[in-house]
Amino acid sequence: MSTALDLDAVLADRHTRIVVCCGSGGVGKTTTAAALALRAAESGRRVCVLTIDPARRLAQSLGLVELDNTPRPVAGLDESAGGHLDAMMLDMKRTFDEVVLAHASPDHAAQILANPFYQAVSSSFAGTQEYMAMEKLGQLRAQADRDGRWDLVVVDTPPSRSALDFLDAPKRLGSFLDGRFIRLISAPAKVGGRGALRLVNVGIGLVSKTLTTVLGGEMLRDVKTFVNALDTMFGGFRDRADQTYALLKDGGTAFVVVAAPERDALREASYFVARLDSDGMPLAGVVVNRLAPEPAAGLSASRARAAAEALEEAGRVESAAVLSLHAGLSDLAARQRNLVRRFTAGHPGIPVVTVAALAQDVHDLDGLREVGVGLAG
């Protein structure tokens, strides 16, 4: 039997320094992260929320004209408890640029930033968004440790086609940039000693010829230039992946898996729960959003549907439509609750909280507060 997830206790615990909201796309993850951040700030925490969602409606709900890679204060909060809230939206390309500028010499940084292959990798390579979200998290946590501006960072992770992409991305990107293939095409002259050089050059020549045919000569030169300029940073990407994992596994981090009462979303949530457990990462619990409200008791779906048919035959179309709507909502509510029961039965001991679907989209702080009340159970 699953216990109720007490998110207020998670947010109130001063040892909790990071809350990571993760899950598949379209389940209300961004809104959940924003609502948790607002609730924590109005309870006295100094919070920064990092979102990945570029939709303007989130910025508007936080009372901001825009969100970008710089944390911006959110106005209109109840700050009587001493808390405050900053919000920002991940700029993947800019964050990658910041990494290069921070960890390469000025000359190498200029070479890297101007390189066409780098520009492609930093804006569209698979896993870059997930990696940069965690890179930005590390930056925010380091700043919080330095100046105490925040005591809690709430992260809205990127929506992924697979629930495992987010956890795998840091190491996947680090392995790509530090891989043998990249080193082979960038520095063939370093292979072997003087005696083996003649033989090796024959093989390298064949490899280079093949790669030139497949990739094109200009792209291959861009890759070589990019990797040679990154040479001083190569170990850093893998080190950073290790640091990111250590940060996520820290006792001050709490993962909140967000789902919707739908078969696919709950299946993704199951994958996340299992993966977090296997990696030893701290799971606070699961949020199931947008649960349809149960219609008024006393009128079952079957009775409502039968009455609707009788009324329609009698010409009372509007009354029949109301009863048909009631029947449909009853079926939906029953189906969703059955899915949630099956999920909790399959994950005994995992705390779960369900949040009722709102009548309208969240478009202001009051809407986020309403979501926060639902999250508190």
What's phi and psi for 23, nearest 5 deg? 155, 180
Q: What is the mean pLDDT of residues 43-72?
A: 83
The verdict on residue 302 lying in a domain is: no
Q: State residue 178's pLDDT score.
A: 55
Q: Is residue 246 part of a domain?
A: yes
Average pLDDT taken over every residue of the chain = 80
pTM, two decimals, is 0.81
- Which pLDDT value is given to residue 310? 82
Angle made by CA atoms 160, 163, 165, in degrees to the nearest 5:
65
Residue with tokens 């329609």: 312
pLDDT, tens digit (0-9, with 9 covering 90-100), for 79-114: 999 999 999 988 888 888 888 888 778 887 888 888
Q: Which of 231-235, 249-253, 280-284, 341-345 comes out lowest in average pLDDT?
A: 231-235
Residue 80 CB: number of other CB atoms within 10 A? 8
Closest CA to 154 of 281, 276, 10: 10
Largest CA distance in the chain: 98
Please report whether residue 44 resides in a domain.
yes
CATH number at residue 247: 3.40.50.300
Above 90 in pLDDT, residue 32?
Answer: yes
Number of domains in the chain: 1
217, part of any domain: no
User: What local confidence, expressed as pLDDT, does residue 194 receive?
Assistant: 44
- Is 194 inside a domain boundary? no
Would you state the structure tokens that stand for residue 6, as one six-digit string?
């007490």
Predicted pLDDT at 189: 43
Q: CB count, 10 Å around CB of 302?
A: 11
Q: Which residue in the block uniquely carries the two structure tokens 């390469």?
A: 104
pLDDT attached to residue 10: 97
Q: Quick check: is 206 in a domain?
A: no
Q: Find out whether 148 and 140 touch, Cβ atoms under 8 Å.
A: no
For residue 322, being part of any structural domain is answered with no
Tell me the one-letter amino acid at 52.
Answer: I
- Give the type of residue at 29: K
- Please indicate, yes or no, if residue 77 is contained in any of the structural domains: yes
Calculate mean pLDDT across residues 297-308: 77
Nearest-angstrom CA–CA distance, 377 and 366: 17
Q: Which domain holds residue 41?
A: 7-167+238-297+340-375
Tell me the per-residue pLDDT of 336-358, one tens digit each, with 9 for 90 and over: 999 999 999 999 999 999 999 98
